[in-house]
Structure 1
C-alpha cells in the first residue's frame, strides 16, 4: 500500500530539483499514475514572505513527446492538458497531477512492457534570503487518496480517523511511514527516477569534451539568480545550438545584488578567470549573455579581466569573443524612466550601492543640488559613465556581434530608452503604442536570402534618439480628446438641415488650427533625423511608416523624417511609445499572467514577438544639449529628471556608439510581465518569451554551421 516513490527535500534560493520519471507498464489495462507535490512549510510562514521568502514553489510536468515547437494533442484537453504547471504552490498547498499512460508519454513498446516517461521540475521561488529553505514532499503512485493521507497534518488525520474506512493496522503503517526521513526512495521496481539538483544541471559536460568548446557565460539580474532563473536559457541553448557549447555562470551573487556593480562584476570576473584557467576543456570561443542588471555586471566583469590580466588576455590564450548580448538591461541607468519617488528611493540606498549606480548617483540627494554649478557636477562620474571607457570600448569591437534585446512595452523596470541604448531608427518603429491593442497573432516573417550575409560589427549608419517620457504625454492625450469632441460637434452641425455656411467654416478652421499645433515634446521629436540601416530582418512586418514626398514617393532612409504639409506646417512622423509603469510591472511579477493552454500546445496560436531587428552605427555622434543655467528649477528637482543627468545618459550612449562599434538592436513585443518574460524566468509561467530565446539561439549562434548549410 506504499507509494511507488517518495522524496522529501528542501530548496534554497535558486534551488532546482529535476526528476526524470520512467515507468514500465506490465498491465495493459492500467491507464494512469499520480503525482503529488506538497509544500510542507507551515501556513503561518506566509506572513514573513517579503522578508525571507517567498516560500513558494514552481512545478511543471512534461510528457516525453512534448515539443513546444510542434502541435501537441492531449487525449482530452478539457479534463487533462497533460503539460501541467503551477507557479504558486504556497505553504501547506499541494499540486496534484494525473500522468496518463498514452502515446504522448510513451517512449517505447516491447514484449517486456510499454515504457513511459515524464520530466518534472520543482523550483524554489525564494528571492532575497540566502539562508531560507522550502521543504516539500513529492510522491508518485497509483493511489492518490493514500498519498494525500501520507502528508496531512496530525489534526487532519485525527478528523479523518473518525470516519476512516482504513483498518487500524493500515493507519499504524501510515503513521510509521510519516515518521521516516525519506529522501529519493523507490518502492516499485517498475519505476526508475533520476534526480538532478541545480549543481548537477549546471556542472554538466559539453557535448564533446574532446573538441574545442564555445564557452557561454550567463549573468542574472537584480533579485534573480542564475541556477533557477536562467535555467530555461541554458536548456534552450544546449538543445538548439549545434556548436560544442558549455554554459556557465557565477551563482553566488544571488541575494547580494545590493553591493554595487563593481563588487558584483569583480566576483563574476574572478569566476571567469578561474574557470578558463582550470577547466579541463579547450576553450576557443566565448560569449556573454545577461539579463537586466546582469548586463552591467558582465560588462564590468570583462573590463576587470582586461585591466587585471591585460588587454590582450583573451588573444594570448586564443579565445575569440563571439557574442555580447544584453536582455532588458539598464545600460544607461534608470533615472529618466522612473518617478521621483522611485529614483529617490534608489538614491538613498534602498538597493544599496547598486541602487545609486543605477540612478547615476554617488550620495543621498539634497536641496543643495538645486544650486550646484555645472563645473562641480562634472567632477563626479558615475560608474555607468566610466564603464564603457577603454580598455572595454576597444575590446567590444572584437566581438562578432553586439546585441541588445529591449522591451518596447510592458516593462516598467527597464524601459526602452535605456535598454535600447538611447538611439533607434525611431520613425521606422511606427506607433509602438498600437502593440498593446493587437491580438498578437501572426506568422513568422520569412528571413532574408541566406546568400545575403548578416552584417558584422562594421556597418555604419546614422540613427535617431528615443525620446524620454515626460508630462507632455498628458497634454497630447488631453488635446486628442478635445479634438475628438470638436469633430463630434461638427458632425452634429452637418446633420442639421439648416446650418449657416459661415458657422461651419469657422468650426472647420478651428479644428484645422488645432491639428497643426504640436506640443513642445512633439516639436522636439520632429527635429530628430531617423535613419535606418541596410539590414532589417523584419522590415515588412509592420505597415510602412516612411515619410513620403508630395508625389507619394518614399523619401527613403537617407532623408529626414520631417515633412511639410501643404500649409507649410510640419506633420507628425513619430509617435512616442507609452511609458510602462513600475508599479504595474511589480504587480505583474507577483500575480503573473500565464499563457493559455492553447498557447502551450499550439505553436500557431503564438504571436511573433520580434518586430524590429536592425544594426546601428554612428558616423556622427549627436551633439550634446547645451545648458547655460547653473541651477535647476524646483519642479525639475522633485521630478528628478535634471538635465545634467540626462546629459550623462547621452554621454554613456555615445561611448557605446563609438565609430568602431555596431549594435544589433532587437525590439520585443511581450505581454506583462515583459521584464521577466523576456528571459523566460519559469518555463511555462513566462512562456510568452519563448520566441525571444529562440531568436537569440537561431540568429546569434551557429554562424559557421548556418553559413555552410545555406551554401549547400
Structure 2
C-alpha cells in the first residue's frame, strides 16, 4: 500500500450537541530544514444545509489552535505577527468551509528536546460543535495534518467521491490517486508519519477524568448549563480552569442530557439533575466530603430545584448523613427572580403563552396549569402547587439548606445582557449608591481604577445590615453618605453606607472625578411612566419603613436619613414631576440575540497581550440582612387592585412586588456575595466563557470564580 508523504494524519468524525474533540499534536523534527507544517479542518456538511440550520442546527464548528508555550497571563510573542499570530481560532466554520492554519516550528511550540537531541513541538487543537436546540443532528468534519497545504486542500471530502479515472488522466494527480486507492484512508484517527503523534480526547474522555487523588476525600463540583446550552462544551472552560487552578482534590461533573430539552421546565430539568447527583454520590468509588454548585443562566434555577428535590425526597439531612459539607453555591447570570419585569410586553407575552414550553412560563412567573394529577389533592397543597415555581423555589427546605453553604455568590452582568439582566441576576438588592448609572458602563472601554478586584485575596466590603442596601435606584439629588461605621460598632470594619433616596454618580465610584465631596444637582425633567412606577413602588413599599426598623434611632445615620426623608416629603408636594431616579436600562433581548449570532470577538492583541485587557469586575460586596422583611400577602391588594393586576399583568406593579417577594426569600437564608461585571456583548455567554477564545472577554470572571474556591481551601 502506498501513501502520499504529504499526508501525515487524518481523522473524520462527527459531533452532536455539546460534542468536543481535543487533539494534542506532537511532532519530532528529524529534518532541520522543516520549519512549518499545516493543519486543515473542513466542515464537510453540504452548503445547501445552511438554509435550514435554524431549525436543527446551526451546523457550524468552533476550532482553536494553540502552541504549547502560550500562556494567557503572559505576553506572547509571535515570530511575525503580520503573517501568523500562532494563536488562532474560528468561531463559525460553516458547511463546506475550512480553516487552514500554519503550525510554526519555533520557540512558542517547542515542548522539549528528547534524549536523542531531537526537538519536539506540540500544539493543542480543539474542535467543538455549535449545534443547539436539538440532539438528533450532527456535524461532520475532516481533520488533516501534513507538510503540503495545496495537497491537503485537494484531498477534500468531495474529491474522494469522484471517479479515479478522471484523476488518472492528470499526471500531476497520480500520487493522489494512489492515496485514494488506499483501503484504510478513511479510517478515523490515522497517523501516517511516524514522527507525528496525535492524542485525541473525545467528549466522554474529557468528562470522565478522575480526581487528582482518588483515594482521598473529594470535593464534588456540580456545574449546570443554561438555556439553549449544553454542559460538555459550554461549561468546559470552567471545568478546565477549576482543575488547573484549584489545589483541592476536586471532581467537576454535571448532567449532560438536559441539552436540547430547555422547554421541559425547571421542575423536570431540576429533577433530572437531582437524580444524577444522587446516583453519582451513591454509586461512586470516591468518598465525597464537600459539594459545590455552579449554575449558568437557567442552570442556576435548575440546580436550585435539584437541591430542593433531593431534600424533599431523600430527607433534609441527606447530605449530612452522607457527611458531605455544602461549600459554594454560585449563580452566573441566573434569572432567580424570573424575567417578566426585565423584558418588554411582547416578549414576555410570547414566553407566557408557551413558546418556550414550560420553561418560558416559569421564567415569566406564570402559574402552573392544572393537570390530571391535581385531582384529589388538598385545597391548601393545590393552591401552593399552582404558584409560580420561582416564587416557591426559595422556600424551605431550600432556604434552610442554603444557609449551610460557606459561600453564596451571584455573578451578574451590569450591561449588555438582554437575556438575564442585572436586577434578576443580582437578586434585586444592590448598593446602587455606589453603582450610579450603570448604563454609563456601555460607554466605558476600560476600567483601570479597581484592578485589585480581580486579584487573589482582595478584601470584600461587607454590608452588615439592610440599611446599607437599596433594591431599586432612587433619588439622584442627594449627597452620598460615606464611611459610616456599621451598626455593630466594629471600628475596624467600615462600609459605604448609602442613603436610600440618593443615587451617586458613576464617576464618583470609579474615582474619575475630584477627590472633593461631590454634591449632585437636581434635574428638572418630567418623570417617565416607568420611573414613576419604580419610584412609587420603592418609596411606598420598603424604604418608608427602613429607618425605624433597621437603623438605631440614636445613630447619626438615622438622623441624617430622617432629615433627608422630611426634606423630600416636603419637596414632593411641589416637585412631583422632577426627574429624580435613574432606572437601570431596559433589557434588549433582540440586541442580545443579535450579539449571540454576530458577536464581537477578542482581537489578537487581546489574546497575546494581557496588559490591554480591561478589568471586568467592578463591584464585589457581601450583602447580609440582619432582619429579613416580612410580607403580608393576604391583604396586599384590594379586590379592584387584584383584578387590575390580573388583567394588566404585564404593566402593573405586581411584577415588581413579585420579584421583591422572591428576592426577600433568598436574602432571608444567609448573606450573599454579589459580583458585578462589565463585559462587552455577548455578555451572557462571555460571563461563562462559552468558547475559550471567542468568549475570552470573560476570562477575568472565571479567574475570580477560581479564587472563590481558594478561599474555602484556606479554611481547611
TM-score by length of 1: 0.81
Q: Which moved more, 1:164-173 or 1:405-414?
A: 164-173
Q: 1:99 maps to what in 2? A: 103
Q: 1:682 maps to what in 2? A: 691
Q: 1:322, 1:401 within 8 Å by CA — same for their partners in 2? A: yes
TM-score by length of 2: 0.81
Matched, 1:664 2:670: no
Tell me the CA shift for residue 204 of structure 1: 0.2
Q: 1:425, 1:530 within 8 Å by CA — same for their partners in 2? A: no
Q: Which moved more, 1:318-327 or 1:175-184?
A: 175-184
Instruction: Find the aligned partners of 1:448 and 1:563 in 2 and give their Cα distance.
Output: 41
Query: Please, which of 642, 648, 654 is the counterpart of residue 658 of structure 2?
Result: 648
Q: 2:417 maps to what in 1? A: 411
- Name the SS for the 1:465 alignment partner: coil
Q: 1:34 maps to what in 2? A: 38
Matched, 1:426 2:419: no
Q: 2:343, 2:587 within 8 Å by CA — same for their partners in 1? A: no
Q: 1:282 maps to what in 2? A: 287
Deviations 1:362-399 (A, max 9, x none): 3689xxxxxxxxxx999941111111111111000000
- Map residues 309-320 of structure 1 onto 2, 5 A cutoff: 309-320=314-325
Tell me the CA shift for residue 642 of structure 1: 3.1
Instruction: Find the aligned partners of 1:637 and 1:613 in 2 and give their Cα distance.
Output: 40
Deviations 1:428-466 (A, max 9, x none): 102211111112252653369999986899877651113
Instruction: Find the aligned partners of 2:696 and 2:524 in 1 and give their Cα distance.
Output: 42
Q: 2:710 maps to what in 1? A: 702
Tell me the CA shift for residue 361 of structure 1: 1.1
Instruction: Find the aligned partners of 1:169 and 1:163 in 2 and give their Cα distance.
Output: 6
Structure 2's unaligned 5+ residue stretches are: 371-381, 475-520, 547-555
- Name the SS for the 1:270 alignment partner: helix
Q: 1:373 maps to what in 2? A: none
Q: 1:427, 1:573 within 8 Å by CA — same for their partners in 2? A: no
Instruction: Find the aligned partners of 2:654 and 2:121 in 1 and give their Cα distance.
Output: 64
Tell me the CA shift for residue 637 of structure 1: 5.2
Instruction: Find the aligned partners of 1:168 and 1:403 in 2 and give their Cα distance.
Output: 62
- CA-atom RMSD in angstroms: 3.5
Tell me the CA shift for residue 518 of structure 1: 4.9
- Map residues 154-173 of structure 1 onto 2, 5 A cutoff: 154=159, 166-167=171-172, 169-173=174-178
Q: 1:495 maps to what in 2? A: none
Instruction: Find the aligned partners of 1:608 and 1:632 in 2 and give their Cα distance.
Output: 46
Instruction: Find the aligned partners of 1:145 and 1:448 in 2 and give their Cα distance.
Output: 46
Matched, 1:515 2:521: no
Q: 2:313 maps to what in 1? A: 308
Deviations 1:527-568 (A, max 9, x none): 475999xxxxxxxxxxxxxxxxxxxxx979995887969x96
Instruction: Find the aligned partners of 1:448 and 1:48 in 2 and give their Cα distance.
Output: 43
Q: Cα distance 1:211–1:556, how it changes in 2: closer, same or farther (>3 A)?
A: farther
Matched, 1:585 2:595: no
Q: Which moved more, 1:49-58 or 1:574-583?
A: 574-583
Tell me the CA shift for residue 50 of structure 1: 1.1
Q: 1:627 maps to what in 2? A: 637
- Name the SS for the 1:48 alignment partner: helix
Deviations 1:279-332 (A, max 9, x none): 111111100000000011000000011111111111111111000000011111
- Name the SS for the 1:7 alignment partner: strand
Deviations 1:23-43 (A, max 9, x none): 110122211110000000111
Q: Which moved more, 1:438-447 or 1:301-310?
A: 438-447
Query: Please, which of 445, 448, 451 is the counterpart of residue 439 of structure 1?
Result: 445
Q: 1:461, 1:531 within 8 Å by CA — same for their partners in 2? A: no
Q: 1:457, 1:663 within 8 Å by CA — same for their partners in 2? A: no
Q: 1:443, 1:607 within 8 Å by CA — same for their partners in 2? A: no
Deviations 1:597-633 (A, max 9, x none): 1111111111111111111122242767953352579
Q: Cα distance 1:564–1:124, how it changes in 2: closer, same or farther (>3 A)?
A: same
Q: Cα distance 1:215–1:379, how it changes in 2: closer, same or farther (>3 A)?
A: closer
Deviations 1:460-482 (A, max 9, x none): 765111369xxxxxxxxxxxxxx
Q: 1:153 maps to what in 2? A: 158
Q: 1:225, 1:251 within 8 Å by CA — same for their partners in 2? A: yes
Q: 2:22, 2:126 within 8 Å by CA — same for their partners in 1? A: yes
Q: 1:461, 1:616 within 8 Å by CA — same for their partners in 2? A: no
- Map residues 175-214 of structure 1 onto 2, 5 A cutoff: 175-177=180-182, 180-214=185-219
Q: 2:236 maps to what in 1? A: 231
Matched, 1:463 2:472: no
Instruction: Find the aligned partners of 1:529 and 1:614 in 2 and give their Cα distance.
Output: 21
Q: 1:290, 1:326 within 8 Å by CA — same for their partners in 2? A: yes
Q: Cα distance 1:108–1:591, how it changes in 2: closer, same or farther (>3 A)?
A: same
Matched, 1:352 2:362: no
Q: 2:367, 2:388 within 8 Å by CA — same for their partners in 1? A: yes
Instruction: Find the aligned partners of 1:448 and 1:69 in 2 and give their Cα distance.
Output: 13
Matched, 1:78 2:82: yes
Q: 1:265 maps to what in 2? A: 270
Q: Which moved more, 1:222-231 or 1:350-359?
A: 350-359
Aligned residues: 632
Q: Cα distance 1:582–1:624, how it changes in 2: closer, same or farther (>3 A)?
A: farther
Structure 1's unaligned 5+ residue stretches are: 366-375, 469-511, 533-553
- Name the SS for the 1:46 alignment partner: helix
Tell me the CA shift for residue 641 of structure 1: 3.1
Matched, 1:610 2:614: no
Q: 2:617, 2:676 within 8 Å by CA — same for their partners in 1? A: yes
Instruction: Find the aligned partners of 2:620 and 2:456 in 1 and give their Cα distance.
Output: 16
Q: Cα distance 1:442–1:327, how it changes in 2: closer, same or farther (>3 A)?
A: same
Q: Which moved more, 1:419-428 or 1:170-179?
A: 170-179
Q: 1:43, 1:91 within 8 Å by CA — same for their partners in 2? A: yes
Q: 2:340, 2:364 within 8 Å by CA — same for their partners in 1? A: yes
- Name the SS for the 1:96 alignment partner: strand
Instruction: Find the aligned partners of 1:592 and 1:177 in 2 and give their Cα distance.
Output: 43
Q: Cα distance 1:202–1:666, how it changes in 2: closer, same or farther (>3 A)?
A: same
Q: Cα distance 1:606–1:31, how it changes in 2: closer, same or farther (>3 A)?
A: same
Q: Cα distance 1:109–1:162, how it changes in 2: closer, same or farther (>3 A)?
A: closer
Q: Which moved more, 1:104-113 or 1:205-214?
A: 104-113
Q: 1:47 maps to what in 2? A: 51
Q: 2:462, 2:621 within 8 Å by CA — same for their partners in 1? A: no
Instruction: Find the aligned partners of 1:557 and 1:686 in 2 and give their Cα distance.
Output: 48
Instruction: Find the aligned partners of 2:559 and 2:259 in 1 and give their Cα distance.
Output: 45
Matched, 1:325 2:334: no
Q: Cα distance 1:636–1:248, how it changes in 2: closer, same or farther (>3 A)?
A: same
